[in-house]
Amino acid sequence: MRGDGSEQSLPEPIGLDEAVGLRMRALHERGLAQDFIDVAAVAHHYSFRDLERLARSHNELFSPRELVMRLEFVDSIADEEFEAYGLDEDRIREVRSFAAAWAEDIKLRRAEEGDIDYDDPDLPDID
């Protein structure tokens, strides 16, 4: 309500899935330190596939290949960019490990689904 007694409409709050989907779109499209931080912060609530599903719901051009490129790019982001958001060395390492594990998961799924050449040098070794 305003002080004059008239009602002001407030924006409707969004749910967690909606918010995560928007952050996933940002990660897929930009891949900035902040995007990695935001997604890694909620990753314990979602599987990799769930995060990808949420990304698709906000980006019709979502591509697992593009996502892998973004995830692998995290190692090229300077520590200072993460530190600017208050992350310490341990948390930066956790964010990078999260991204690496996800990229590997996508590559393995693509191989299992026949969507990649098995002699691709970018495919992780399978024991």
Q: Convert the pLDDT of each residue in 107-123 to its tens digit.
A: 999 777 765 555 555 55
**Between 7 and 104, residue with greater pLDDT:** 104
Average pLDDT, the chain: 88
Express each pLDDT in 44-73 by its tens digit: 999 999 999 999 999 999 999 999 999 999
pLDDT at 12: 78
Chain position carrying tokens 């693509």: 110
d(CA 100, CA 1): 48
Q: What proportion of the chain, given as a percentage, has pLDDT over 70?
A: 83
- Name the region of 7 (left: φ>0; alpha: ψ -120 to 50; beta: rest): beta
Note the pLDDT tens digit of each residue in 36-49: 999 999 999 999 99
Nearest to 28 by CA among 4, 56, 49: 56
Q: 16-27: per-residue pLDDT in tens?
A: 999 999 999 999
pTM above 0.85, yes or no: no
